[in-house]
Chain A
C-alpha cells in the first residue's frame, strides 16, 4: 500500500534533509517498508563530491610549524573552511541524504574538534571513516574511531604512556562512546583501560596511527571483572560484550531520529538485534525507521532542524543551484554548529537547545538573506515548475501546495492575502514552523 504524501514527507524530512518535490513524488508511491528499504539500499560509503586536494597530504613538520607559525595557522584556518564548504557541498549533492545524516550523527558521537586537533587532514580522514562504516558495523566503527589519529590527538592518548597514564580517552570511551555515564564501570576500570591504551600514538611525520611498544604498559590489567595483559583492542572487545553498550548505542541512534524516548522493551529488542548481528547497524536502523514510534503523530514535525539540516534542507528542497558555498561555514557557526568543531567532547546537545534568542535571530537573518538572493527569487517566481512532479497529488493553490512541501507543521502565522505568491512562500520560510522537521 503506497505511503502517500504525508508519510513520504515525514520519512524523508526525518531521515534526510528537507525533500524536494521530485524526491517526494518518488517515495509517496512506495509502501513504508519499501521506502525504508530504498533509503538503506541507497546508502553510500564514499563521498560523491571531490574533497579538497590537500586532504591526503601529510601533516606539516614541526619545524615548519614553528618557523611559519602565523602562516601555518592561517593555512589551517583556511583549510578547515574549505573542508566545511566541501561537506556542505556533499550534503547538498548526495543522492543519499541519510548517509550524511548518519555521518553527522557519528561526528557528534565520536567527537573530535578542529580547535584541538588543528589538522584538517585528520578531520577529513575521520569523516571518511564515519561515512564508510556509519551504517555497517559498530564493532568496526568503534575500533577504527578509537585508533583514528584525530581521536588520539583530541583525547590526549598521544600522552598516555606506561607509568604516566592519561585517562581522558578511556573515560570518554566508557562514559560517552559506549556504555554511558556510570553504567557498569568504575574509576578503576577507567584507569586500567587507560593503561591498555598506552602506546597508541600518532606518528608526527605521517599523521598515521602507530603502536609504540616503548610506551605500552604490558602489565596485567583488571577490567570489568576480567584479567589479562590487555591491549586497547581487547578493552574495546570486552566493552562490546556488555549489554549496556548495545543499549546505549540504540538510545543514541534513537534520539537522533525520534523525539519521544523509546520504552524499555523497544530498547532491549533493538539492542538484542544489534548484539546478535555482531553489531551490524543496518538492521537496527531499519528497525528504528519501521517502529510505530517513528511514524507516530507525536514524532512528526516535532524535531528542531540542526543548523546543517536547516541550511542544506533549504538548498535541497528548493533545488537551488548554489555556486558559492563559501558563506555557509560562517552561517553554520552563527547558528551554533561549526562543522568539524563541536563545542566539547559531549558534542552538540541538539534538540531544543538549537534555538535560543541568539540562534533564532541568526536563523531568521540567514533565511531573510536567502530569500533576497537571485537564485531563490527565481525559484519563488517559478513555483509551478518546481511543484510539477507533484501534479495531481496536492490540492489548493500554488502557495498551499508549496506549503505542503516546505513545512511539516501548520504555519503559526496566517497568510497575508495582500502578498504575491512569491512573497507568501518566502514568508513561510520565516514562519516558526519552518524550524521543524
Chain B
C-alpha cells in the first residue's frame, strides 16, 4: 500500500483505498504497514525528451562508412560528406550540428543500439513498454519513474514530476498523484495557486483524497510561482516551436530552483512513413537547436551539473527505405544523454545492417540499463532493475 498524505487513516479506510483498484483475487487484502523507504536526496533534474512516433536512428547517428547503409537507402541516406563525424564509423546528421558544442565539451553521450528483446512495433504498445520498463509480453501499469521514486520523495519536493507540452504522464503514471501535467504552465499555475484549501476531512477516504490532492496542488503551485518570481532571467532565446517552448519552461523551473526529479518534454512527428527527408530534417533541426540553447542556458548559470537530458522513443525505424520515400516501424535506435555529469562519448554498439532480425536492427543495449543507471547513479536508488547492467555514463 502506498503511503499517502492522509491526516487520518484508520485500518478501515486503508481497505477503502484498495477496493477502488482492480486486483485479481483481491479479496480481503489488508494493508501491510510497511516501513517507507528512506527519501532520496534530489541533487538534480532529469529532463526526458520523448521523440514521439519512432525516431529514425539510422539517419540520426549515421554509420557513414558502411556500404550497406547507402545500399539500403538509395534516396534517404545522408550523403557521406554531409555527416558530422563522431568517430571512424559513426557521425551525426548535419541538422544536429548544434550538438557538436556539447560533444566537444565532452558532455554528450551517444548510446547506440538501444532497444529490448522481442521488440514490439506498435506505437502504443512499445511506448508503454518503454514507459513502464516491462518485458515485451507483460502489461505493467505503473510508470518506471513512479515505481522508482514515488515512495521516496521527501516533503521538500514540490512535485513528483512535470509533463510539459501535450504529453502524457507516461513514466510518471501510477505515482502518488502529485505529478503535474501542464500544457499551458502559466495558466495552470495561476489557477492552481488560487485553489481553496481545507483541513482533510476524516471519515470519508474518497473525499479526503480529493481534498488532499487539492491542497497539494495549491502548495506546489504556490511554491513554484514563488521561486519563479525570484528566478534569474534566462539570458538566452529559445528557438520557436513546441520543443523550444517546453525547454524554456524547463529551464526557468530549474533556474528557479524548483525541486522536481523529472521534467518530461516531447517532440512529436517522427513517424515518417512517407516523405521522410523534409520532416526528419526539420525535427532534427529543432532538436539540435533547442538542446544546444538549453545547454548554454544552464551552463551560463552554473547549473549544467544538476541536469541530465535523456532522449527516448518507442522504436527506431527499418533499415531499408520503403516505397514512399520513408521508413517503417523498426526496433533498436541510438539515444542521447547530455549533462554536466555525463561522460561524453560513444556507448553501446552500432547494430549490424546486414545481420538483421526480420529486416530490423538487433539491439545492443537494453533500455532498462539506461534506467538503472539513472536510478542508481543519478538518484541513488538501488534495487531497481537489477537484471540490467549499468553504463558508466555519469561521473
Contacts and interface: CB of A to CB of B under 8 A. Distances in A.
Interface of A: 69, 113, 115-116, 168, 175-176, 179-183, 248, 251-252, 255, 258-264, 267, 298, 301-304, 343-347, 349-353, 355-358, 360-361, 364-365, 409, 412-413, 432-433, 435-436
B139 interface: yes
B236 interface: no
B191 A360 contact: no
Contacts of B207: 301-302, 409, 412, 432-433, 435-436
B196 interface: yes
B26 A251 contact: yes
A69 B16 CA distance: 48
A412 B21 contact: no
A349 B142 CA distance: 11
Most buried by A among B12, B163, B205, B206: B206
Nearest to B180: A357
B24 A357 contact: no
Interface stretch (B82-90, B213-221, B344-352): B213-221
10 contacts: A182-B24, A255-B22, A261-B19, A302-B204, A343-B141, A351-B17, A353-B174, A357-B220, A358-B179, A358-B181
A181 B179 CA distance: 29
Interface in B35-54: none
A179 B25 CA distance: 8
Nearest to B123: A115
B7 interface: no
Contacts, number: 153
Contact of B213 (A175, A182, A357): A357
Interface of B: 12, 15-22, 24-29, 122-125, 128, 137, 139, 141, 159, 163, 169, 174, 177-181, 188, 191-192, 195-196, 198, 201, 204-207, 209-211, 213-214, 216-217, 220, 273-274
Given A267-B27, A344-B139, A355 B192 contact: no
A364 B21 contact: no
A351 B19 CA distance: 8
Nearest to B163: A358
Contact of A355 (B25, B137, B188, B210): B210
A69 to B, nearest CB: 7
Contacts of A179: 24
A344 B141 contact: yes
B273 A69 contact: yes
Contact of B21 (A115, A116, A350, A433): A350
A69 B274 contact: yes
B169 A301 contact: no
Contact of B22 (A183, A347, A433): A347
Nearest to B209: A352
Q: Which 8 A-B pairs have the closest CB atoms?
A: A351-B20, A180-B24, A181-B24, A358-B181, A356-B177, A432-B210, A115-B124, A180-B25
A233 B382 CA distance: 47
Nearest to A115: B124
B186 to A, nearest CB: 13
Given A260-B16, A261-B27, A352-B17, A304 B179 contact: no
A115 B128 CA distance: 12
A110 to B, nearest CB: 13
Q: Which of A180, A260, A352 has the most CB of B within 10 A?
A: A352
A432 B139 contact: no
Nearest to A109: B22
A426 B218 CA distance: 21
A252 B27 CA distance: 11
Contacts of B205: 302, 352
Given A261-B28, A350-B21, A357-B178, 12 more contacts: A175-B24, A176-B24, A260-B15, A298-B12, A304-B20, A304-B206, A304-B210, A345-B139, A350-B22, A352-B206, A357-B192, A357-B216
B15 A248 contact: no
A228 B196 CA distance: 65
A358 B204 contact: no
Contact of B198 (A180, A181, A251, A412): A412
Contacts of A302: 16, 204-207
Contacts of A435: 206-207, 210
Contacts of A364: 191, 195
Contacts of A176: 24
A166 B191 CA distance: 49
Nearest to B176: A356
A115 B125 CA distance: 9
Contacts of A350: 20-22
A343 B169 CA distance: 12
A88 to B, nearest CB: 22
Nearest to A184: B25
A212 to B, nearest CB: 23
- Name, among B174, B205, B213, the residue most crowded by chain A CB atoms within 10 Å (CB to CB): B213
Contact of A361 (B123, B209, B217): B217
Contacts of B204: 301-302, 409, 436
Contacts of B139: 344-346
A361 B201 contact: no
Nearest to A368: B191
A370 B28 CA distance: 40
A101 to B, nearest CB: 16
A409 B180 CA distance: 27
Contacts of A115: 123-124
Contacts of A344: 128, 139, 141
Contacts of B178: 356-357
A417 to B, nearest CB: 16
Contacts of B29: 261
A116 B205 CA distance: 36
B304 to A, nearest CB: 29
Contact of A259 (B16, B125, B163, B179): B16
Contacts of B273: 69
* Best-surrounded residue of B125, B163, B204, B211 (most CB of chain A within 10 A): B204
A158 to B, nearest CB: 13
Given A259-B20, A261-B26, A301-B204, A349 B210 contact: no
A176 B138 CA distance: 13
Given A116-B122, A304-B209, A263 B28 contact: yes
A259 B213 contact: no
B198 A413 contact: yes
Contacts of B201: 412
A264 B27 contact: yes
Contacts of B180: 357-358
A308 B204 CA distance: 22
A365 B183 CA distance: 13
Contact of A357 (B141, B179, B274): B179
A180 B29 CA distance: 15
A355 B213 contact: yes
Nearest to A358: B181
A264 B210 contact: no
Contacts of A360: 210, 213-214, 217
Contact of A183 (B24, B123, B169, B192): B24
Contacts of A351: 17, 19-21
Contacts of A181: 24-25
A352 B5 CA distance: 13
